[in-house]
């Protein structure tokens, strides 16, 4: 299990304990976190799992693949250098304590 801290659009911080191997999107939606939808179920086809990853730890994440980068062109909120799709990030022990901020809107 991996602890990830989500910051909801309201500023509320929610720590979610995610099964290793699950995506951060699965963990957040299962954990009832506000500000993330995951409409396509994690197939990198909706961009409603857009999130901002803690910039200081961005380098610890596997780089975004081409399909994720393409889909990031379709996010509803501002795209930033630390924008990622939460369905494309697997929870691993190395990411414990990662802070993931959710944008104001997903659609
Ligand atoms: Fe649809 Fe991530 S859940 S792109």
Q: What is the pLDDT along the chain (107 residues), one digit of tens a residue?
A: 999 999 999 999 999 999 999 999 999 999 999 999 999 999 999 999 999 999 999 999 999 999 999 999 999 999 999 999 999 999 999 999 999 999 999 99
Q: Which residues line ligand 1 (CB under 6 A)?
A: 25, 38-40, 42, 44-49, 71, 85, 87
CATH number for 2-98: choose from 3.10.20.30, 3.40.50.300, 3.40.190.10, 3.90.1150.10: 3.10.20.30
- pLDDT at position 50, please? 98
Tell me the domain boundaries of the chain: 2-98
- pLDDT at position 102, please? 98
- pLDDT at position 14, please? 98
pTM for the predicted model, two decimal places: 0.97
Ligand 1 mutation target, pool 26, 85, 100, 102, most atoms within 8 A of CB:
85
Task: Transcribe the chain into DSSP letters.
Answer: -EEEEEE-TTS-EEEEEE-TTSBHHHHHHHTT-TT---TTSSSSSS-TTEEEE-GGGGGGSPPP-HHHHHHGGG-SS---TTEEEGGG-B--GGGTTEEEEPPS---
- pLDDT at position 83, please? 98
């Amino acid at each position: 299990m991996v602890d990830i801290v989500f910051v909801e659009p309201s500023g509320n911080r929610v720590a979610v304990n995610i099964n290793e191997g699950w995506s951060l999107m699965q963990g957040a939606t299962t954990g009832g976190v506000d500000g993330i939808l995951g409409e396509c179920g994690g197939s990198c086809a909706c961009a409603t799992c857009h999130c901002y990853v803690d910039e200081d730890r961005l380098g610890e994440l596997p780089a975004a693949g081409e399909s994720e980068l393409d889909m990031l062109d379709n996010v509803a909120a501002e795209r930033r250098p630390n924008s990622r799709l939460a369905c494309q990030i697997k929870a691993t022990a190395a990411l414990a304590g990662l802070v993931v901020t959710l944008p104001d809107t997903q659609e």
